[in-house]
Structure 1
Amino acid sequence: MASSSSTLVLSTLFSSHPHQTLNPNKNKSPFSSHTKRPFSSLTLKVSTFVKPKQPPPFHSPHNHQIRLSRQFRAYITVRDGADDGGGGDGDGNEQPVVGEDSAEFILSKQKISSWVYFTAILGSVLFILNVAWIDNSTGFGKPFVDAVSELSDSKEVVMLILILIFAIFHSGLASLRDTGEKLIGERAYRVLFAGTSLPLAVSTVVYFINHRYDGVQLWELKNAFGIHEFVWLSNFISFLFLYPSTFNLLEVAAVDKPKMHLWETGIMRITRHPQLVGQVIWCLAHTIWIGNSVAVAASVGLIGHHLFGAWNGDRRLAVRHGEAFEVVKKRTSIIPFAAILDGRQKLPKDYYKEFIRLPYLSITVLTLGAYFAHPLMQAASFRLHW
């Protein structure tokens, strides 16, 4: 099983004018303010509209502009003729993409200097985190955990309080993101967000690792047939859901300007809130394996936080992306596969290609690495005596 530390720490590092070109990276609705339907769903007469000979593929991030006159231009998305309900074009073709292509990694667009900056920033952050928070001789991590522990003799209650404190700061700062970015800029706000959330996440993770067996034992299934394989596989799958919003590590480290993305491909076709689904799978797997009251308390706290995060995330995306988000919301679901089964989500024929990408490979390698590094992480947490 991948450790809880990997789960929580990684999860903390997360009406246009008719003369404007549709760009899903911009904070504007891709639809004209004069119509409720996407322009791509309108049918134009041949006398006024010439369709490109080769329409772009569904995953293209670019939109094509066709000049009809000096006063009028038509803008199309990646496919023509789809109805505004997201049901395809009536001929079995897949849906046009309104949001962004998740997990896209184009090697030719990468700059060596950006990754050098990323490595330097990551090293600096880890050094500061160790000195200012983790190291018991210099940091504030132990005094913080000790202060929370004095609030109750119950390990379950302390576990819930630590998660609550983390949730308040993490979700609170996320909710204030629009205002904060206007005041201090995107990069500075990302530093503030990560600098506040990361230490609180580390404290919560370390406390869980050190006290995961201190609660009341409710069941014991470790020796049951197939339980280890089931828990290991569930935990592995959970990581594929957990991190679609951290695919762009350069934005996480504020090397690139952080953006609020409206993802639509890959894992997002299965569930609109993969981090919630991944957290639920991870919590259930660890609770089944540990089987005590501390594990139950941690799972209740984490799942509750992610349920709120799903609601809050939808609210923020609706404010930022407007009608584009409403289209994505209509043809996706929170419950995995629900939109696919009821026909609202049309999978492309080559859907599997949306997962054969470097970010998913990286997550796979990190998940396996975290599993084999369990003894090292447990020993490091124990030495802190939090």
Structure 2
Amino acid sequence: MESDSLLTSSHWIMLAMLLGFAIAHSGLAALRSWGETKIGARLYRVLFALVSLPLAAALIIYFISHRYDGVVLWQVQGIAGIKETVWLLSAISFIFLYPATFNLLEIAAIQKPQVHLYETGIIRISRHPQMVGQVIWCIAHTLWIGTSFTLVTSLGLIAHHLFAVWHGDHRLEQRYGEAFRAVKERTSVIPFLAVLDGRQTLKWEEFVRPAYLGVLGFVVLLWWGHPWLSQSLVISR
């Protein structure tokens, strides 16, 4: 653990890794229409996964290994209720982070991947649920760990997802034009804003689907394996 200065070398390495991931992920998303005309939708999905997943895995491993680097800005782990709050926020974050399409066959390129224009389920809460989930995840983990490294990581992740909000809307508007602009008018980026001002009505039956049970199962599995995973990654450094 590096802790002799506010911004250790690991802070800059993480920022560089985040920038590399953002360029690769958003760049491939921007080139999707062009790429699919060259190699087909399924093969482009595979290419996207082969580039994005290893970079994401490297980010997760590096974060876990260096999360206590830098300066401790606050220490709240001993306060009653903080641990439960962090786990509750983390569980909520995964509900938003889960792909809004719920179409695993397309995600895995078993079915032909397509760009969809959704306005149901969690999209009624926020048009960009993955951004919301990432912000919640960052708040929870930055609160719990309290180091400058975690804060820098969280700010980098949030910055990337805020850019992705603009980038995603731009790509959908290019593809769907007026149809997307109509959806944009009826939805909001800020969670529940469109519901509160009357542009949307939540339909709870849209949330009753097996995919959410999968998210719950994943959270339980993560809770069970989290201490072992964190310890094993630190030992392997």
The normalised TM-score by structure 1 is: 0.58
Equivalent positions of 1:63-212 (< 5 A) are 154-212=9-67
- Residue identity opposite 1:157 in structure 2: W
CA contact (8 A) 1:180 1:189 kept: yes
1:32-71 correspondence to structure 2 within 5 Å: none
Equivalent residue for 2:111? Answer: 256
| Separation in 2, partners of 1:158, 1:300 | 14
Match of 1:305 among 160, 183, 198: 160
Pairwise CA distance, 1:373: 1.2
Distance 1:371 1:246, change over 3 A: farther
CA distance in 2, matches of 1:195, 1:282: 25
Q: Is the 8 A contact 1:209 1:381 kept in 2?
A: yes
Please say if 1:230 is aligned against 2:85.
yes
1:267 to 2:122 alignment: yes
Query: How does 1:217-366 map onto structure 2 within 5 Å?
Result: 217-245=72-100, 247-347=102-202, 351-366=203-218
Is the CA contact (8 Å cut-off) linking 2:97 and 2:130 kept in structure 1? yes
Q: Which among 223, 226, 233 is matched to residue 374 of structure 1?
A: 226
Q: Structure 1 residue 303: deviation in Å? A: 0.3
Per residue, is there more helix in 1 or in 2?
Answer: 2
Residues 242 and 277, structure 1, Cα contact 8 Å, conserved in 2: yes
Instruction: Report the 3-state secondary structure (helix = DSSP H, G, I; strand = E; otherwise coil) of the residue aligned with 2:100.
Output: helix
Secondary structure of 2:71 counterpart: coil
Deviation at 1:300, TM superposition (A): 0.6
Alignment CA distance shift 1:218-1:153 (3 Å): closer
C-alpha deviations, 1:119-161, integer Å up to 9, x for none? xxxxxxxxxxxxxxxxxxxxxxxxxxxxxxxxx9522111111
Contact 1:159 1:298 in 2 (8 A): yes
Q: CA RMSD in A?
A: 1.4
Cα 1:227–1:153, aligned 2, differ >3 Å: closer, same or farther?
closer
Partners of 2:8 and 2:69 within 8 A in 1:
no
User: Matched residues, percent identical?
Assistant: 56
Work out the CA distance in 2 between the residues paired with 1:382 and 1:299. 20
* Partner Cα distance (1:354, 1:238) in 2: 18
Deviation at 1:292, TM superposition (A): 0.6
> How many angstroms does 1:250 deviate by?
1.2
Which residue number corresponds to residue 213 of structure 1?
Answer: 68
For residue 383 of structure 1, report the CA deviation from its aligned partner.
5.0
Check the 8 A contact 1:244/1:267 in 2, yes or no: no
Structure 2 residue aligned with 1:68: none
1 CA distance for matches of 2:235 and 2:22?
26
Residue aligned with 1:256, SS: coil
Q: Give yes or no for contact 2:100–2:123 (8 Å, CA) kept in 1.
A: no
Highest CA radius of gyration, 1 or 2?
Answer: 1
1: distance between equivalents of 2:24 and 2:174? 21
Give the Cα separation in 2 of the matches to 1:177 and 1:319.
Answer: 12
Unpaired segments of 5 or more residues in structure 2?
Answer: 1-6
Residues 323-342 of structure 1, C-alpha deviations (whole Å, 9 max, x = no match): 22111110100001111111
